Amino acid sequence: MSIQVATVNGSGSQSSNTVLLRSIFQMGVPVSGKNLFPSNIAGLPTWYTIRANKDGYIARKKEIDFVVAMNSETAHEDVMSVAAGAVVVYDEPLNLSNLRSDLVFYAVPYDKLVAPVCPEAKLRKLVKNMIYVGVVAQLLQIDFAEVEKAIRKQFSKKVKAANLNLAAVKAGYDYAAANLTKRDPYFIQRMDKTAGKIIIDGNSAAALGCMFAGATMVAWYPITPSSSLPESMIEYMKRFRIGADGKATFAIVQAEDELAAIGMVVGAGWAGARAMTATAGPGISLMAEFAGLAYYAEVPGVIWDIQRVGPSTGLPTRTSQGDILSTAFLSHGDTKHILLLPCSAEECFTMAGDAFDLAEQFQTLVFVMSDLDLGMNNWMADPFKYPEKPIGRGKVLSKADLDRLGGFARYQDVDGDGVGYRTLPGTDHPAAAYFARGSGHNEKAQYSERPDDFERNMERLNRKFETARSFVPRPEVDTGKSKIGIIGYGTSHWGLIEARDQLRQEYNIETDYLRLRAYPFTREVHDFVKQHQVVYVVEQNRDAQMLTLLKMDLEAALHTRLRSIAHIHGLPLDARSVTDELMTMEGK
């Protein structure tokens, strides 16, 4: 079932929604929470959707089953948009029950209930939302003890606030028990499918992953939806990365803009730090020139792109996969960048380590392509495993190496993999220094405008990119004997799992599936397309950006097998939309 809470941004509903989500989660029921909020500070409509599903589906559900209508501005539309049989819990003065006869309505006098609980009038707007948590908990048979546990966790450092909010929940719960006669089929039944799991947002998971990966320098500029990633890193690093002398072993700098942020990252990466930034599409656009410098001078760094809807300012608080094509070739001239494509909080954690290792192994920027849905929403996850793999610094020459070699050519391909050897500033050897040039250079890092030097250098960089195919995270592949293949990536994965089951159960259509986890593509991707008569590439952008990358990589004879299913309105991908469009394209 899907529960949609319609409130006003800035009304304190985030805490109420989190308590409701966590209460269901603590009953062992798989859940997910999607926050649809406006790009202003306060006052505009916001919707929070909780999905509870016994089969473990956690993608957004297209249909809404249970509405909590708290916003007078959207209440009419909220009621008219749901299918027959849905439930509407509403603020009594709104008088919504006259709008339709095919829904189940429950009226609640929130103002009357909150007044005795919260004598302070200024706080009532915030506490009022907890009343609906109690009402919904009673109607859906959510264990009250779990609600109290969730409140204590939400306000763990504020006992007084916890008690006040608990009293509000109890008031709503008791009112519903005494005055609302159950007339709908929905309920939450205790299960055991969340044991040992945690709830975390992708940005927090990414921040933890970056810390464990050894990041020592973060430069960033605030932008939705990426800001909470460096903000979380600040908190984690203060807890876990203070030396025995009481001094920080890291630097986190809020730059004056995105250009300054990426400039600091490139400088710190050249100096030997594990450096990173986090941004969104507009910031990526601004970072283009520095990305070209890092690519050509071969400087490592990690960039998290928490994608949102563009172009321009676009829809800053809606999710998207619209930066794929531009980021893959970010900057002018011939550039190619490694992209990692996490689909879960677990992968935000693990791919942080992958990103830093790959950046140093290949001496280049690595972009981790998350999105707003993954970054800012709450997800179930297994507890993260402590990284066991040693940090890989790549081809870094020490003083002892230089004593043995006598010198080195910074941009020479010694091993045939396209990756040269580098030194770090401060290496105590007369042969250690070199110019990290963004202008034309030869193998010895000397300035050169010779055509053969430039061509040799660019071919080596391309060879390095080809080598990366063997080291980036490999795709997940589920194949049988179907003639229909589906390719997806990122958070689209969760809708696709459910859509494949719908196709099987409702239409008796079997599909094979490949989830991309990185670019450049590995051999498995080529093989998957060859094995199927038709391959649907599902993505959250208008222009089939990943499909375009695939066409550039595949032999021309395979291009006609690829078909695009595009999802572009900024809401997280739902299974039903994929199922319906695929069936239409199949002519059924």
Q: Which helix (H) or strand (E) holds 536?
A: strand 534-539
Q: How far is the C-alpha of 531 from the C-alpha of 118, rounded, in Å?
A: 64
Q: How far is the C-alpha of 175 from the C-alpha of 84, rounded, in Å?
A: 26
Cα–Cα–Cα angle for 199, 201, 203, rounded to 5 degrees: 150
Whether the CB-CB separation of 369 and 327 falls below 8 Å is answered with yes
Whether the CB-CB separation of 423 and 434 falls below 8 Å is answered with yes
Q: Is the peptide bond between 225 and the residue preceding it cis, with omega within 30 degrees of 0?
A: yes
Gyration radius (Cα) of the chain, Å:
26
Cα–Cα–Cα angle for 73, 77, 81, rounded to 5 degrees: 155
Whether the CB-CB separation of 77 and 56 falls below 8 Å is answered with no
Fold equal for 200-381 and 476-585:
yes
Q: How far is the C-alpha of 107 from the C-alpha of 95, rounded, in Å?
A: 8
DSSP category for residue 51? E
- For domain 476-585, the question of CATH label 3.40.366.10 is answered with no
pLDDT per residue, tens digit, the chain (588 aa), is 999 999 987 777 889 999 999 999 999 999 999 999 888 766 789 999 999 999 999 999 999 999 999 999 999 999 999 999 999 999 999 999 999 999 999 999 999 999 999 988 888 888 899 999 999 999 999 999 999 999 999 999 899 999 999 999 999 999 999 999 999 999 999 999 999 999 999 999 999 999 999 999 999 999 999 999 999 999 999 999 999 999 999 999 999 999 999 999 999 999 999 999 999 999 999 999 999 999 999 999 999 999 999 999 999 999 999 999 999 999 999 999 999 999 999 999 999 999 999 999 999 999 999 999 999 999 999 999 999 999 999 999 999 999 999 999 999 999 999 999 999 999 999 999 998 889 999 999 999 999 999 999 999 999 999 999 999 999 999 999 899 999 999 999 999 999 999 999 999 999 999 999 999 999 999 999 999 999 999 999 999 999 999 999 999 999 999 999 999 999 999 999 999 999 999 998
Cα–Cα–Cα angle for 219, 220, 225, rounded to 5 degrees: 150
Q: Is the peptide bond between 311 and the residue preceding it cis, with omega within 30 degrees of 0?
A: yes
Q: How far is the C-alpha of 71 from the C-alpha of 392, rounded, in Å?
A: 52
Closest CA to 110 of 127, 85, 87: 127
* Domain spans of the chain, in order of start: 2-179, 200-381, 399-468, 476-585
Structure tokens at 481: 């004997």
DSSP labels for 189-216? ---SSSTT-EEEEHHHHHHHHHHHTT--
Token pair 């800035």 is at which residue? 10
User: CA 488 → CA 205, 280, 475, distances in Å?
Assistant: 22, 21, 10
Residue 60, SS3 per DSSP: strand
Q: How far is the C-alpha of 227 from the C-alpha of 316, rounded, in Å?
A: 12
- Phi-psi map region of 40: left, alpha, beta (phi>0 left; psi -120 to 50 alpha): beta
**Domain formed by 200-381, architecture:** 3-Layer(aba) Sandwich (3.40)
User: CA 221 → CA 143, 235, 315, 365, distances in Å?
Assistant: 43, 17, 19, 18
DSSP category for residue 447? B
* pTM score over 0.75: yes
CATH fold group of domain 2-179: Pyruvate-ferredoxin Oxidoreductase; domain 3 (3.40.920)
Bridge-based pairing of strands 301-309 and 365-371 is: parallel
Structure tokens at 405: 């070699």
